[in-house]
C-alpha cells in the first residue's frame, strides 16, 4: 500500500496551499483532485484578496494569472428600472497587502497546484476520494475505491462547501438549508478595449460591483460583477431557504438580473460563454465543524471559512490562509510527537495568528443580520425613492432633503425605532 505523511483532499485554493506548505516543511504529500485538472470544478465570483499569497508565495505577482487589479469598488442598489451606485476609486486598492485582483479559477487553481508540485507535493487528478480509511478506530488514510486505500498520518480535508468527508469524520452534522446559499455565475465575453472604455479602466485595472435590492428580487442575497481581461463575471448569491420557500428558480433570477437596464448597459454586445452554480457556506463562525481530530484537519470552505458581510465576499483568501495554518499545525504536531487529536488542536492557534478565526468571529453576527428581509427590499427601495425625489426638478415645488427622507421613512411603513435598531445592528455586525 502506498503511504504518505499527509494526504490533502481537493486541489482548490485551500488544498493546494496546505499541500504547498506541508511539502515545504518536508512532509511527503499527496494532493488528490477529482477534477481532470485543478480549477476545472472550481467556481467563484471573481475576486481574490491577495494578502495570504504574499506569505505563501512571496513573489506571487510575477507569474500569478491575474486578470485585472481591482482599483474601483461599487455598491449598487437596484429597483425594477433604476439604480443608485456608490463608487470608491483609489490606486491604493491595488497596492501592498491590501491588493485584490480578479481571476479565472481554472487558471488560478492550476497555478497554485503547480507551486505545490514544485515544492515536492505529488498531484493526482481525476480521482475522487470516496471515504476516510480507518484502522483501529483512527483515520489512517483515504479510500479511493472500495478496496483501494492510501495510507497517511494526516488527512487534510479541503473538499469545499459540500464536503462529505467532514461528515464522515463525525466533525459535523449534515448541511442545513439555512447554512448555505446558492451561488450562480455567468461569464460574459467582451473585448478588453470595450471593458476598459465602458468601465473607465486602464489596461490592467479592474472594477468590482456588489448589487443589493432588486438584483435578488427581494430574496435574501445580492449580485456581483467583476471585470476580467476580456470578460465579465456576473452572478448572484441567494439564500437557499428563500429560493425553496418562495419557489423561485435561481436561473430565472439571474436572467432578470442580467437584463436589468443598469446591468445591461455594462454587458451590451457581450456573449455568455460559461454558466455555473455552487453552494456557498453562509454562516461563517456559526457553522464551523470541529476543525481537527486524530489524523484530520479541515480547511477552507469545508470548514465554513467564508465571510460575506454585504460589502466584501471573502472565501479564497481564508481558504489560502487556513491551508498555510494547517501546514504549520502539522509541523507543530510532528514536533510534539505525532498527528494526535491533542497535538493537532494547535491548528486553532495558527488560524488565529493568521486572522482567519479572528475575522470570522468578528463578523459572526453578519449572517444573522443579513437574514433581515428589509435590507433586500424595503431599504433599497426607500433609498431609490429618496434619490429620485432628490434629483427630480419638474417645477412642482421642490422639497428639502430632510423632509423627503422623513416622508419616505414614513411611507416605508417600518416603525422608526425598528429602522434605528436595524441601523445600529448593521453597524455592529458588518
Residue 104 exposure: Cα atoms within 13 Å on the Cβ side? 15
User: In the set 301, 328, 331, 377, which binds ligand FAD (CB under 6 A)?
Assistant: 301
Q: What are the angstrom distances between the C-alpha of 171 and each of 135, 167, 292, 335?
A: 18, 6, 8, 25
* 52, 145 Cβ separation under 8 angstroms: no
Binding segment toward ligand FAD, per CB under 6 A, in 197-205, 307-315, 327-335, 415-423: 307-315
Between 181 and 220, how does the x/- string for binding to ligand FAD read (CB under 6 A)? --x-x-----------------------------------
Rounded to a whole number of angstroms, the minimum distance from the CB of residue 148 to ligand FAD is 13
Question: With contact defined as beta carbons under 8 Å apart, do 53 and 99 qualify?
Answer: no
Q: Give the distance, in angstroms, between the CA of residue 25 and the centroid of all CA atoms in the same chain.
A: 28
38: helix, coil or strand? coil
b/e string for 280-315 if b means 16 or more Cβ within 10 A?
bbbbbbbbbbebbbbbbbbbbbbbbbbbbbbebbbb
Which range in 65-73, 196-204, 264-272, 299-307 contacts ligand FAD by CB under 6 A? 299-307
Q: Does residue number 380 form part of the binding site for ligand FAD (CB under 6 A)?
A: no
Enclosing H/E stretch for 261: helix 261-267
Task: Indicate the residue among 282 and 385 with the shorter CB distance to ligand FAD.
Answer: 282
Contact segment (CB under 6 A) with ligand FAD among 3-11, 19-27, 116-124, 198-206 equals 3-11
Contact window for ligand FAD (CB under 6 A) among 312-320, 335-343, 379-387, 392-400: 312-320
Shortest distance, position 203 Cβ to ligand FAD, whole Å: 22
Subset of 338-367 contacting ligand FAD (CB under 6 A): none
- 407/419 Cα distance (integer angstroms): 14
Sole residue written with cell 448555505: 180
CA neighbor of 70 nearest in space, from 88, 84, 83: 88
Cα 223 to Cα 214: distance, rounded to the nearest angstrom = 9
Residue for grid cell 426607500 = 382
**Binders in 29-58 for ligand FAD, by CB under 6 A:** 32-35, 41-48
Is residue 70 classed as helix, strand or coil in its secondary structure? strand
Q: Which residue is nearest to ligand FAD (CB)?
A: 315
Residues in the chain: 430
Number of residues in contact with ligand FAD, rule: CB under 6 A? 40
Residue 409 CB, shortest distance to ligand FAD, in Å, is: 33
Q: Pattern 135-174, binding to ligand FAD, x per CB under 6 A?
A: -----------------------xxx--------------
- One character per residue 257-286, x = contact with ligand FAD (rule: CB under 6 A): ---------------------x-x------
Q: Which of residues 87-146 bind ligand FAD (CB under 6 A)?
A: 128-129
Work out how close the CB of 163 gets to ligand FAD at its nearest, in angstroms, rounded to a whole number: 7
| Backbone dihedral angles phi then psi of residue 87, each to the nearest 5 degrees | -115, 145
| CA distance linking residue 350 with residue 299, whole number of Å | 12
Contacts to ligand FAD from residues 221-260, by CB under 6 A? 235, 237
CB of 271 to ligand FAD, least distance (A): 20
Q: How far is Cα of residue 311 from the mean position of the Cα atoms in its chain?
A: 12
Residues sharing a CB contact under 8 Å with residue 262, sequence separation 6 or more, in sequence order: 76, 78, 82, 83, 85
The single-letter DSSP state of residue 377 is T
Q: In angstroms, what is the minimal distance from the CB of 308 to ligand FAD?
A: 9
Task: State the minimum distance, in angstroms, from the CB of residue 13 to ligand FAD.
Answer: 4
Considering only residues 11 through 30, tell me which ones interact with ligand FAD, judged by CB under 6 A.
Answer: 11-15
- Minimum distance, C-beta of residue 396 to ligand FAD, in the bound complex (Å): 44
Footprint of ligand FAD (CB under 6 A): 9-15, 32-35, 41-48, 128-129, 158-160, 183, 185, 235, 237, 278, 280, 300-302, 306, 313-317, 319
Amino acid at each position: 500500500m502506498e503511504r504518505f505523511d499527509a494526504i490533502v483532499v481537493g486541489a482548490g485554493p485551500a488544498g493546494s496551499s496546505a499541500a504547498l506548505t506541508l511539502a515545504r516543511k518536508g512532509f511527503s504529500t499527496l494532493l488528490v483532485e477529482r477534477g481532470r485538472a485543478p480549477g476545472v470544478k472550481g467556481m467563484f465570483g471573481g475576486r481574490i484578496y491577495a494578502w495570504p499569497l504574499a506569505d505563501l508565495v512571496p513573489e506571487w505577482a510575477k507569474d500569478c494569472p491575474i486578470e485585472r487589479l481591482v482599483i474601483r469598488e461599487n455598491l449598487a442598489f437596484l429597483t425594477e428600472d433604476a439604480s443608485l451606485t456608490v463608487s470608491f476609486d483609489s490606486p491604493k486598492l491595488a497596492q501592498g497587502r491590501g491588493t485584490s485582483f480578479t481571476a479565472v479559477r481554472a487558471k488560478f487553481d492550476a497555478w497554485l497546484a503547480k507551486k505545490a508540485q514544485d515544492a515536492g507535493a505529488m498531484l493526482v487528478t481525476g480521482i475522487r476520494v470516496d471515504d476516510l480509511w480507518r484502522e483501529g478506530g483512527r483515520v489512517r488514510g483515504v479510500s479511493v475505491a472500495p478496496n483501494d486505500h492510501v495510507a497517511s498520518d494526516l488527512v487534510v480535508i479541503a473538499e469545499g462547501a459540500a464536503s462529505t468527508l467532514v461528515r464522515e469524520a463525525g466533525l459535523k452534522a449534515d448541511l442545513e438549508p439555512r447554512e448555505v446559499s446558492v451561488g450562480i455565475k455567468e461569464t460574459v465575453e467582451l473585448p478588453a478595449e470595450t471593458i476598459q472604455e465602458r468601465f473607465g479602466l486602464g489596461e490592467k485595472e479592474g472594477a468590482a460591483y456588489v448589487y443589493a435590492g432588486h438584483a435578488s428580487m427581494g430574496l435574501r442575497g445580492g449580485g456581483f460583477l467583476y471585470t476580467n481581461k476580456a470578460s465579465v463575471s456576473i452572478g448572484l448569491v441567494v439564500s437557499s431557504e428563500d429560493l425553496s420557500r418562495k419557489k423561485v428558480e435561481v436561473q430565472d433570477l439571474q436572467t432578470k438580473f442580467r437584463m436589468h437596464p443598469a446591468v445591461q448597459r455594462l454587458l451590451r454586445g457581450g456573449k455568455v460563454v460559461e454558466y455555473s452554480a455552487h453552494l456557498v457556506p453562509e454562516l461563517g463562525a456559526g457553522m464551523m465543524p470541529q476543525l481537527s481530530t486524530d489524523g484530520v484537519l479541515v480547511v477552507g470552505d469545508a470548514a465554513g471559512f467564508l465571510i460575506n458581510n454585504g460589502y466584501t465576499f471573502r472565501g479564497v483568501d481564508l481558504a489560502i490562509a487556513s491551508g498555510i495554518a494547517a501546514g504549520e499545525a502539522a509541523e507543530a504536531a510532528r514536533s510534539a510527537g505525532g498527528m494526535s487529536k491533542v497535538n493537532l488542536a494547535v491548528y486553532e492557534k495558527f488560524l488565529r495568528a493568521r486572522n482567519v478565526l479572528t475575522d470570522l468571529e468578528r463578523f459572526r453576527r453578519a449572517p444573522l443580520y443579513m437574514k433581515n428581509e428589509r435590507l433586500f427590499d424595503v431599504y433599497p427601495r426607500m433609498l431609490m425613492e429618496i434619490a429620485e425625489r432628490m434629483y427630480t426638478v419638474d417645477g412642482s415645488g421642490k422639497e428639502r432633503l430632510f423632509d423627503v427622507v422623513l416622508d419616505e421613512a414614513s411611507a416605508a411603513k417600518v416603525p422608526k425605532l425598528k429602522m434605528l435598531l436595524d441601523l445600529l445592528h448593521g453597524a455592529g455586525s458588518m
